[in-house]
Structure 1
Amino acid sequence: MISTIWNTVFFNPIYNGLIFLLDVVPFIDVGIAVILVTVIVKLILFPFSLKMVKTQLAVKALEPEITKLKEDHKDDKQEQARKTMALYKERGVNPFSGFLLILVQIPVIFGLYWVFLSGGLPEINMDILYSFVSTPEKINMNFLGLIDVSAKSVFLAFFAGATQYFQIKFSLPPMKARQEGKASLKEDLARSFHIQMRYVMPIIVFGIAYAISAAVALYWTTSNLFAIGQEIYVRRKIKNRNES
């Protein structure tokens, strides 16, 4: 049952989307098709990701008030948490809204991975091809004629890691300077998490993108660039709204 759901909801649509693009868009290779599929997926998820970015910016804006709440209730952690959640609710902010978007993207990554792992390209699996999807005459696996997207690529994996770094840098607030003797364990943990997200996560992305295939590296790079552009767009939109 799980296999059926996986194939019906994720793998088959991704596979057919790639084949469809390779057939209808002239002169493109599988790498460009992966980029186009990524953009289509991001556009479908755009309303959710837009909400996530707005939530992140709203949480950043509430940081001074949250800091004050922590100081006012530093001896009562339960009250501190209750007041913080009440503040989020009052301002209409859901700090956990981004997790759904992350969960949705994971199957897409595995779907792309499975397309190439299962030998779905360059040979076409006619058994799972939709009736309205035609078979392209030729499938070019070399991205821009240079990189085989079914193989590993240090170059594209590096770009995946680099764009992940800048995407996190855009989305996370800057780290506050550590005050000697005043930092609590919670603040130290938060700082550690911040450092790991900013510096360790890109390394993990590089490792995964290299270990799986260049196609996944392309997906990750395109997805990160889309997210950076989206963040810039939302920030400017909110800034213009506040100035008007």
Structure 2
Amino acid sequence: MNEQRNMITALVLSAIVLLGWALLSDKFFPTANKPATQIVNGKSVPLPQPTPASNAPAQTLDRAKVLAQTPRVKIETPKLAGSIDLRGAQIDDLVLTTQRETIDKNSPPVRLFSPEGTQDAYFASFGWSGQNIRLPDANTVWTAAGDVLAPGKPVTLTWNNEQGQAFAIKLSVDDNYLFTVQQSVTNGTGAPVAARPYSLVSRAGQSKDPSSWQVHVGPIGVMGGIAQYKTNWKDLDEAGAAGQKFQSTGGWLGFSDKYWLAAVIPDPKAQVDAAFAGAGGHYQAEFAPNVAPVGPAQTATQTSYLFAGGKDASLLDTYDDKYGFDKLDHAIDWGWFRVIEKPIFYLLDWLFKQVGNFGVAIMLLTVIVRLVMFPIAHKQFKSGQQMKIVQPKMKALQERHKEDKQRLQEEMMKLYREEKINPLAGCAPVLLQIPIFFSLYKVLTLTLEMRHQPFILWIKDLSAPDPLTPVNLFGYLPFQPTGFLHLSVLAILLGITMWLQFKLNPQMNMDPAQKQIFSLMPWFMMFIMSPFAAGLQVYYILSNLITVGQMQMLNRKMPAPKT
């Protein structure tokens, strides 16, 4: 009767955890990217990425027609292509030439910026505000001193208001994703004029990438040295045109997708007023430095920057060091374990550059982690062996003091001291694995470097779930199971290796219900881990296999004596 009750208890607890995890995981632990491939008749084929509906206003203008309506300056860099609209001095046409929408070889490049009025409109603009002075606006047509903006080939835009003031915007771009913007106003009159430069990023509609507790998507920035992760699309909708206002020295602000960022960055030493705003499905991030009026016959120049591209972790760190930006690397929401996550990322990235395959790099990282943790695992095993030896004494104490729990605890602690056993020694490896596991989860979930990275055979994207599952007979049945019902091959291997580890692990003093729950854990973890990134499952499987090998070796070296 007790055995049946224990089994029922274990099954009920497992079901609760499975159902609860399914409900909470998308909000708190988004498991992976959308699948990049699917298995059809046993073969891996690219899967077109769906385009979720955004909250953008209905767009009707054709992008190609809009681009042809105004004079433009081309943008050509190793990683970017597009153009600058000379009407309004807007960078509103930008694609990332080294990033594709899907893993299909014919997939188009990722588009970041699109002109106002088109689908998913998104652009950066630069100008001036002021009073009693004619200023350039969205309809001003600028004159360009060049037809192509490229690394080492800056382009200057000029405009004269015919009232004695001349305006200029000098644009430069590097080999990656950073634009340098120098805004100048020359006062040719006999009286000072107030002209305050501004920089902004505007987008229509919200990101198609979901935001969660672990992955921030939406308005983002660093103001006053503090990263703004709490502001979301809903906050801007509620704030309306009045927006959320900040004052800061340096910093930056803009909008973040999962892998992409568009942000305006003032001079690191400049005192600025900054704001986020949202109205009618349009969102804006802007700043304006505090500047003095421009005196007679004087020229005032203000430098700012625009980052528009992929959130390459190494590149963001490089920009912080080179230009003195305030925590631009925080555009990647590393979270609580940043101090562990970034070293793990850099080690993994270095291994990838050595071997050329991210799956192999993850396997090498796993070996390194297990080697570092081997002394702790060794102590854990010894503690388990000692626990086996004293099991008869522990059971005798439990029988003797089963009616007096406090006395039983005292006698158990006395036994541990006499036998020199640390009952918590087995917890150390588990506790140390938690931040490592979580850090690798964040690296695989957030970093651009992992996006669309293949491994071997049918695994074409390590940042997405393993697409191969026996649930649909490896693609021979015409349906695709989702969520934890998508029981993949890697997840099954993970469950088997966990079961082997459990069978070899020295059993602690558990009651029957605990043992049954632990015996179900490997199979229950198969369903939980199946929707996670394939790269994370590769790490877990190999880690389990290494642990099994260590246990086998230590079992032969230190067999537990017969009681």
The reply to whether TM is greater than 0.5 is: yes
For 1:83 and 1:98, locate their aligned partners in 2 and report how far apart those are by CA, in whole Å.
21
Q: Which amino acid aligns with 1:6?
A: F
Structure 2 residue 478 is the aligned partner of structure 1 residue 150: no
The alpha-carbon deviation at position 5 of structure 1 amounts to 6.2
Q: Which amino acid aligns with 2:552?
A: I
Structure ranking higher in helix proportion: 1
Structure 2 residue 549 is the aligned partner of structure 1 residue 229: yes
The alpha-carbon deviation at position 239 of structure 1 amounts to 3.0
Contact 2:444 / 2:536 at 8 angstroms: preserved in 1? Answer: no
The alpha-carbon deviation at position 116 of structure 1 amounts to 2.3
**Equivalent residue, structure 1, for 2:157:** none
Deviations 1:183-204 (A, max 9, x none): xxxx9x82111111111x1133
For 2:501 and 2:557, locate their aligned partners in 1 and report how far apart those are by CA, in whole Å.
18
Deviations 1:37-70 (A, max 9, x none): 0111111111111101111111111101111112
Larger radius of gyration: 2
Deviations 1:213-233 (A, max 9, x none): 111111111111111111111
For 2:409 and 2:450, locate their aligned partners in 1 and report how far apart those are by CA, in whole Å.
53
Within-5 A mapping of 1:91-102: 91-102=419-430
Within-5 A mapping of 1:148-187: 148-153=461-466, 154-173=488-507
Contact 2:501 / 2:547 at 8 angstroms: preserved in 1? Answer: yes
Contact 1:22 / 1:29 at 8 angstroms: preserved in 2? Answer: yes
The alpha-carbon deviation at position 208 of structure 1 amounts to 3.1
Ranked by relative contact order (alpha carbons within 8 Å, sequence separation 6 or more), the top structure is: 1
Match of 1:15 among 316, 333, 345: 345
**Equivalent residue, structure 1, for 2:391:** 63
For 1:237 and 1:75, locate their aligned partners in 2 and report how far apart those are by CA, in whole Å.
40
The gaps in structure 2 that reach 5 residues or longer are 1-225, 227-333, 467-487
**Equivalent residue, structure 1, for 2:329:** none
Q: Which amino acid aligns with 2:556?
A: R
4+ residue runs of structure 1 moved beyond 4 angstroms?
none
**Equivalent residue, structure 2, for 1:54:** 382
Deviations 1:6-39 (A, max 9, x none): 212x1111111111111223xx511111111011
For 2:363 and 2:515, locate their aligned partners in 1 and report how far apart those are by CA, in whole Å.
29
The gaps in structure 1 that reach 5 residues or longer are 124-139, 175-186
Structure ranking higher in strand proportion: 2
Within-5 A mapping of 1:90-239: 90-122=418-450, 141-147=453-459, 148-153=461-466, 154-173=488-507, 190-199=511-520, 201-239=521-559
Within-5 A mapping of 1:22-33: 22-25=352-355, 28-33=356-361
For 1:190 and 1:143, locate their aligned partners in 2 and report how far apart those are by CA, in whole Å.
42
Look up the SS of the partner of 1:211 in the other structure: coil
For 1:29 and 1:15, locate their aligned partners in 2 and report how far apart those are by CA, in whole Å.
15
In angstroms, what is the RMSD of aligned CA positions? 2.6
For 1:35 and 1:69, locate their aligned partners in 2 and report how far apart those are by CA, in whole Å.
45
The alpha-carbon deviation at position 209 of structure 1 amounts to 2.2
**Normalised TM-score (structure 1):** 0.77
The alpha-carbon deviation at position 211 of structure 1 amounts to 2.1
Aligned residues: 209
**Equivalent residue, structure 2, for 1:84:** 412
Within-5 A mapping of 1:35-46: 35-46=363-374
The alpha-carbon deviation at position 122 of structure 1 amounts to 3.7
For 1:93 and 1:121, locate their aligned partners in 2 and report how far apart those are by CA, in whole Å.
45
**Normalised TM-score (structure 2):** 0.35
For 1:47 and 1:73, locate their aligned partners in 2 and report how far apart those are by CA, in whole Å.
36
Identity %: 31
The alpha-carbon deviation at position 4 of structure 1 amounts to 7.3
For 1:5 and 1:194, locate their aligned partners in 2 and report how far apart those are by CA, in whole Å.
33
